[in-house]
Structure 1
């Protein structure tokens, strides 16, 4: 009798334990990807392709893939997914403008700053360009960066700009309507750039940016704040270089391209918003938004084409760019612009 009781208790304990284990297994199996099961190895279908074409400036077209920090691959040319928006956001207007106003962004970088600065541009705002290219003097296939036939140094910035735009015209002219240049310490809001450009015809010879008034009759655009050329403007610029209609130029990149664009009949556009507030900013956010007068001797006082001021009331609610942004600040901008929200406040936007 004692043995029978012992066997019965063991049998019942086994049933209880086994049932509990099965229920726990089913619970975790059907739960979201959190907890213990997330860390187990799973089989993932490999869908990325490898391309052998070089990104060296050798006259051959190329499509770039880049491995980011979590080893997933994403296409740098013709990048068109919208995973960077929150699922609950209504991004229909942004998607429409993405398809309608195609922007190629090329970022001026160098071997010395590729992994200290450009990588943070790659991982933040440049994802929202239709096409993005990183231009250096040395090819980097894994980043990737295009190697242009130039030397590095401030005195070579205009040479790099010329070669970059010639490369883009040869290989990417049909993949975008507007062509933006930015530095690897520039932060840009691509959606607001498209909002500015949406009513302009890319077949008109136009360029936009932070307009400065010295050295060029119609003004020129700040290189640090970034500037964007229409397709017609880019064609005229490259033709001006090829025919030597434009002089070879000096070392100051933004001044020299401004001179050439004026020679070939490209108009300098007004990038301010409807309230005449600035959208392109040649310094970072903390400088432009601080409610103090611009310090005496600051370059903006002498350079700005339009009246200069400083403070929140001077900047557009649809800012396009900021310059001299540190790597750490890139992620602050990214979070505050695309992720942070104010509870109880719904924003309205003009109709497109």
Structure 2
């Protein structure tokens, strides 16, 4: 048996035993005769039972974990936070690269779109009519956002852009966004400060997510505003300039401990603090490196090769140490609506 906490340090009446294992319920847990909160955690043979009693009338909450893993807490958040994901793909790269997003983290998006230069009948890639090339990446990004605004504006609350070498932990992203307001003009990601450009923006490789209001402003002005039409320069900085002219703010994505959630690099490099020399000049806020500066709920990693995508999927969703149960600490800021420019 785990532990019992009570405001008067007393055991209240306990009749019966609740156990939800192997799909069955045996016994009834009843914690009564009290006026305080009683929390009893019972773990046996892989079966977790959580009993909660508040005041008279005996409110009993039974949560159980059987084989596999329990997604009900994440499912509750997911039902209220809809995320459309879109990924830029080079011609011919869907079956060698993007397909692995489709089979890993992408399947947890509420809607997943792939954009490329041309439409291909052998893949779900949507052609934008913009040639491949790093110097055309901003133009392709603007075209993709315009397409999402025109065809999918009402399909989601938030709109996530990622690359084919980005890995996203969707449950952590939705948890973060659950405390945000999509009617605010804001976009989130790994925040870069003004360095080579006079405005701040979010890293393209780490992925960034626009609120519905941010997408509405972009879609309403693209083709009309010079800043949102002249798509020349680095993709992320160019989009940052466009959104700044539309008064769309860069949001704060660090957790309440100041730790990072979006990452421009792969997990091992972030953990070991092996950032590239230029990183400290770009990162907004204090320079963060090493495991102690990474959030317990990381959202994204970049530069993931095919085997990295599969490895991250395995470690996040399959590996678990036997006999260890960890709670779900709240790490969102009490008021995470603060923005930075």
What range is the shorter-chain TM-score in? 0.7 to 0.9
**Structure in which a larger fraction of residues adopt strand:** 2
Instruction: Spell out, residue by residue over 1:30-70, the C-alpha distance to the aligned partner (whole angstroms, 9 max, x if none).
Output: xxxxxxxxxxxxxxxxxxxxxxxxxxxxxxxxxxxxxxxxx
Asked if 2 retains the 8 angstrom alpha-carbon contact of 1:105 and 1:181, the reply is yes
Query: Which residue does the alignment assign to 1:187?
Result: 167
Which structure is higher in helix share? 1
Structural mapping, 1:42-81, within 5 Å: none
Contact between 1:206 and 1:266, CA under 8 Å: does it hold in 2? Answer: yes
Following TM superposition, the consecutive aligned residue runs of length 4 or more in structure 1 with deviations greater than 3 angstroms are 215-218, 292-295
String of CA shifts for 1:6-38, please: whole Å, max 9, x gaps. Answer: xxxxxxxxxxxxxxxxxxxxxxxxxxxxxxxxx
Once the two structures are superposed, residues 77-109 of structure 1 have per-residue CA deviations (whole angstroms, 9 ceiling, x without a partner) of xxxxxxxxx963221121112111100000111
Q: What stretches of structure 1 of length at least 5 have no aligned partner?
A: 1-85
2:222 is aligned with 1:204? no
> Which residue does the alignment assign to 2:322?
343
Q: CA deviation at 1:241?
A: 1.2
**Given that residues 199 and 241 in structure 2 are in contact (C-alpha distance below 8 angstroms), is that contact kept between their aligned partners in structure 1?**
no
Task: Please name the residue that 1:178 is paired with.
Answer: 158
How high is the TM-score relative to the length of structure 2? 0.74
Cross-structure match for 1:125 = 105
* Uncovered stretches (5+) of structure 2, i.e. residues with no partner: 1-65, 333-341
CA drift of 1:294 comes to 4.4
Q: Distance in 2 between matches of 1:332 and 1:293?
A: 20
Distance in 2 separating the partners of 1:222 and 1:341: 31
CA distance in structure 2 between the partners assigned to 1:124 and 1:289 by the alignment = 22
Q: Distance in 2 between matches of 1:177 and 1:157?
A: 25
Using the size of structure 1 for normalisation, the TM-score is 0.72
Q: Judging changes above 3 Å, is the alpha-carbon distance between structure 1 residues 93 and 245 closer, same or farther for their aligned structure 2 residues?
A: farther
C-alpha spacing 1:87/1:157, structure 2 compared with 1 (3 Å): farther
Aligned partner of 2:96 in structure 1 is 116
1:261 match? 243
Q: Indicate yes or no: 2:213 matched with 1:238.
A: no
Count residues with an aligned counterpart: 265
Partner of 1:50: none
Return the alpha-carbon distance in structure 2 between the equivalents of residues 282 and 250 of structure 1.
22
Identify which of 254, 265, 279 aligns with 2:261: 279
1:302 is aligned to 281
Indicate the SS of the match to 1:104: strand
Instruction: Provide the rounded CA distance (Å) in 2 between the counterparts of 1:161 and 1:177.
Output: 19
Superposed displacement of residue 350, structure 1: 3.6
Cα separation, 1, equivalents of 2:98 and 2:285 = 31
